[in-house]
Structure 1
Amino acid sequence: MLFKLPHQMGKSLLWVVILMIAVNAWGSSGCLEEERTALLQVKAHMKFYTHGKSLTSWVNDTRSDCCKWYMVTCNNITKRVINLDLSWIVDGSGGDWYINASVFLPFKQLNVLDLIGNQLAGVVENGGFDKLSKLRNLEMIELSSNRLNRSILSSLSHLSSLKNLSLDSNPLNSPPNSSGHERLLGLSNLEFLIMKTVDLEDTNVLSVLSKLTNLL
């Protein structure tokens, strides 16, 4: 037996079907071209590779979906990069690495940036982490097991969106010609801070943590 739907209901169901098809087509598409290009720039910036993490899946091929690349996580709906796990990428035989954090600016929805164990010793001129203050979704940065000194703190202090920050196993000693009073100011939303193995005296640790009222 066939049932005839009322005309208005039939039109409504038709639009629902069309909308579902459109959403499904959008959700199944690959990563954004601007972010695929940006990832290739990140790869070039990191130069040296080790521990088997050679980023071989990061290829300059428009048919390659960067959301499926190794160490990249995208939002299922927007297809924008939300998580970059770039831990233990830079080979120590290449010497210290100085980051240009601006290479991460194209990732508008980036939530987590992991740079653990990359021989990171500082930032290039005009390329500090303060550049990432434009990324309002950035909540976690992992910087453990690098070679950062205390000057990195003032660069990080601009990231008001951060909730998690790890600086474990860094010297965090005072750089030459420095007052040694660099602090993590401005991290008003920071809840978790890991600084277990650093070369800071207790009094310096207290000064670094001053005004971080939301720490759990």
Structure 2
Amino acid sequence: MGLRLQMLMVLVMMVSLQGWLPLGCMEEERIALLHLKDALNYPNGTSLPSWIKGDAHCCSWELIQCNSSSSSSRGRVTMLDLGSVRNQELGDWYLNASLFLPFQQLNTLSLSDNRIAGFVEQKGSYEQQRLSNLEHLDLGLNHFDNNILSFVEGFSSLKSLYLGYNKLKGLINLKESLSSLEDLDLSGNNINKLGASRGPSNLSALKLENITTYESSFQLLQSL
């Protein structure tokens, strides 16, 4: 009985420890995070110092949130808040979108204010494995042009999209593929027309602060 009691006590302690021990994310995602850190710091940045190669508890790293439930998704990265991470002095750059493929449960992604001029995609792989759970995407305060619109169209689960203060101009055509979109921010861009005749049917909030138009604001809104 004494040995059984000791074994039971050890088991109880192991179960209880899971509640406060640092949560380790999936190995595939930990490696992807380190690749992402390298990309954000290229060629000589020093951002994200807590993202350490030898640390298995990547869910405790800064600017990351993981699924902490007891389901099969436990340890999966659900949020990456990487706004203003890249050193502005490194200049404009293009981010490899395929770096995000391992994050299958990613729900919220912020890449704002990082001087990103566009995304580079690996042909074939990325189109087939879009982030199906991504609902909130913040790409504001970067240097994206209108090509970013065709990129975000593949995220059919998006509910909020922030593209404020980029380099969008002219006609902005909202496609029906963004069927789940509820909140859209296009502030601070050079837009003169919005096309949405077959656009997102669930859109309930549209932000257009500090828009530079070639025509009147009324004509811009009338184009909807």
1:28-177 matches, cutoff 5 A? 28=21, 29-48=23-42, 54-61=47-54, 63-77=55-69, 78-126=74-122, 131=127, 134-173=130-169
Shift of 1:151: 1.0
Match of 1:58, as an amino acid?
W
Contact 2:109/2:137, CA 8 A, preserved across alignment: yes
Distance 1:45 1:26, change over 3 A: same
Shift of 1:97: 1.4
Measured in 2, the distance between the counterparts of 1:187 and 1:88 equals 26
Distance 1:184 1:24, change over 3 A: farther
Runs (5+) with no aligned partner, structure 1: 1-17, 175-179
Match of 2:96, as an amino acid?
N
Contact 2:41/2:47, CA 8 A, preserved across alignment: no
TM-score (norm 2): 0.73
Shift of 1:25: 4.0
TM-score (norm 1): 0.75
Distance 1:112 1:21, change over 3 A: same
Match of 2:179, as an amino acid?
S
Contact 1:85/1:115, CA 8 A, preserved across alignment: yes
Relative contact order, CA 8 A, sep 6+: which one is greater?
A: 1
Higher strand share: 2
Q: Rg: which structure is higher?
A: 1
Match of 1:79, as an amino acid?
G
Measured in 2, the distance between the counterparts of 1:164 and 1:127 equals 26
Number of residues of Structure 1 aligned to a counterpart in Structure 2? 190
**2:184 corresponding residue in structure 1:** 193
Measured in 1, the distance between the counterparts of 2:88 and 2:123 equals 21
Which 10-residue stretch deviates more, 65-74 or 29-38? 29-38
Higher helix share: 1
Q: Deviations over 1:113-134 (max 9, x none)?
A: 0000010111225379x74863
Match of 1:72, as an amino acid?
I
Any idea what SS the aligned residue of 1:200 has? strand
Shift of 1:19: 9.6
**1:177 corresponding residue in structure 2:** none
Any idea what SS the aligned residue of 2:191 has? coil
**1:15 corresponding residue in structure 2:** none
Measured in 2, the distance between the counterparts of 1:209 and 1:49 equals 44
Contact 1:48/1:91, CA 8 A, preserved across alignment: no
Contact 1:154/1:185, CA 8 A, preserved across alignment: no
What is the root-mean-square deviation in Å for CA atoms of aligned residues? 3.1
Q: Deviations over 1:182-210 (max 9, x none)?
A: 54441000000011211111xx22x1575
Match of 2:64, as an amino acid?
V
Distance 1:21 1:93, change over 3 A: closer
Q: Deviations over 1:3-51 (max 9, x none)?
A: xxxxxxxxxxxxxxx799659649845222211111001101112599x
